[in-house]
Amino acid sequence: MTASERRSALFGQMSALAGFMYCDGREAFNALPECARDELRTLFNSLNGELQEAIAGSRCHSQFGASTVQG
């Protein structure tokens, strides 16, 4: 999986989870036990952290590649 595909996959998972938690699935989400809602929020935060790392990694890689080409 390329870095771009990984970022897209993480974003897709976050989007689907956010839709369930706050939009179309909100009623079902609210019907879950509090511990299950907490686990889903933790999962969302974990995915967000992975996405931020993937974005930061691609920026560093791009900057490194650009400086190598220019140098």
Residue 63 is assigned to a structural domain of this protein: yes
> Closest Cα partner for 51 from 22, 2, 1, 9?
9
**Structural domain tally of the chain?**
1
Q: What is the pLDDT of residue 30?
A: 96
Q: What is the pLDDT of residue 57?
A: 85
Structural domain containing residue 32: 6-70
Q: What is the DSSP letter of 25?
A: T
Per-residue pLDDT reduced to its tens digit, 5-55: 999 999 999 999 999 999 999 999 999 999 999 999 999 999 999 999 999
Q: What is the pTM of this model?
A: 0.75
Instruction: Identify whether the C-beta of residue 26 lies closer than 8 Å to the C-beta of residue 17.
Output: no
Q: Which band of pLDDT confidence, cut at 50, 70 and 90, is reported for residue 59?
A: confident
Six-digit token string for 34: 């509090």
What is the residue type of 30?
N
Q: How far apart are CA 27 and CA 21, in angstroms?
A: 8
Residue 49 is assigned to a structural domain of this protein: yes
Q: What is the pLDDT of residue 32?
A: 97
